[in-house]
Amino acid sequence: YHNDLFYLTGTRLAPKEKLDIPVSFMPETMKMYEAVVVIHVMRENGENWPYEDSAELNEDLKSSVTVAENGGIQGILWIYPVHGIPEAPQQKLVPAVVRCRARQRIERRVEVLLTGVVPGVPATRNSAIVNTNKPANIQEEVQVTDGFSTTVEFLYELQYQSNEIKSQLGALVGMDLIQRERDTESGIVTLIFNIVFAPNKPMRNKATLVVQCTTGGVWKFPMLFIATEPEVDDVINIEAVGLNKESIVGFKLTSQTR
């Protein structure tokens, strides 16, 4: 946000009328910026709003009104805090593909590169996503909370295109942040996630890995989850007992749920 103060004066509002206040945001670094929008309303005729005990206003009311010297309320204040959270430019990144046969389980390591994490270091390189099949043998203590999973510096979650897809994939996909690295020269941060995918039926769904730095800044990376046809359970052989005669074979099916 601009550091200068801008005043919109002389604007007349009729009763029930609406006022639009434009706010522009042009961040230079990937950190959160804070500002407040203050609206000061006074009567057009210059008179005060009567208030009997204006000298003894409670603390909550003092912050939202201006009191005249001769008593009464001269103006009313509305204060709106604004948080500006920069988001990395959307780029045509190749999705990280996690592929698994239905009714099986697979683990994949996914690397993402975050630019401009360090305040004052511009994002000179594009963010990127790398899908690797190396075993996830790096252990690091991380803290987990409901909703977003959090570490010391980053929040992350998987977002889906619809609630229906979320209900399908939510219980089938697990994600953990297992390693964080920072390049001191470029300021680029590398996050390595371990993705677990255990589909129960064939599917093909897109998702977005959203990473947010606790100091501000959001990065989004596309992902694609593919579940292929499962292996054949068994082969049923039916031998004919003769022409135009029935042959019957019995087999059992066990339900995985009630």
> In whole angstroms, what separates CA 138 from the centre of its chain?
26
Predicted pLDDT of residue 133 = 61
- Global pTM reads 0.67
Q: How far apart are CA 237 and CA 119, in angstroms?
A: 68
Give the pLDDT confidence score for residue 131 in this predicted structure.
Answer: 60
What is the residue-wise DSSP string for the chain? --SS-----S----TT-----------SSSS-EEEEEEEEE--TT-PPBP-TTGGG--HHHHTTEEE-TTSSEEEEEEEEEEEE--BPPP--PPPEEEEEETT--EEEEEEEEE-S-STT----S--EEEEE----------B--SSSEE-SSEEEEEEESSHHHHHHHTTTEEEEEEEEEE-TTT--EEEEEEEEE--SS-EEEEEEEEEEETTS-EEEEEEEEEEEPPPP---------STT-----------S--
Give percent of the chain above pLDDT 90: 34
**Quick check: 2 pLDDT over 70?**
no
Domains assigned to the chain:
1-30+33-84 (no CATH), 96-118+151-228 (2.60.40.10)
Which range of 22-31, 88-97, 197-206 scores highest in mean pLDDT? It is 197-206
| Mean pLDDT to the nearest integer, 24-40 | 87
**Distance between CA atoms of 115 and 104, rounded to whole angstroms?**
35
Rounded Cα–Cα distance for residues 160 and 243 (Å): 56
What pLDDT, on the 0 to 100 scale, is given for residue 145? 36
Burial class (CB in 10 A: 0-12, 13-18, 19+), 209: buried
pLDDT, tens digit, 9 for 90 and up, residues 118-139: 554 444 444 566 666 654 433 3
pLDDT number for residue 4: 42
* pLDDT score of 144 more than 60: no
Q: Looking at the predicted structure, is the pLDDT value of residue 31 above 50? A: yes
State residue 204's pLDDT score: 94
- Per-residue pLDDT at 9: 63
Residue 55 pLDDT > 60: no
pLDDT at 256: 74
pLDDT at residue 142 in the model: 36
Tell how far CA 234 is from the center of its chain. 43
What's the chain's average pLDDT?
80
Asked if pLDDT for residue 206 goes beyond 90, the answer is yes
> Which backbone phi and psi does 222 adopt, to 5 degrees?
-75, 145
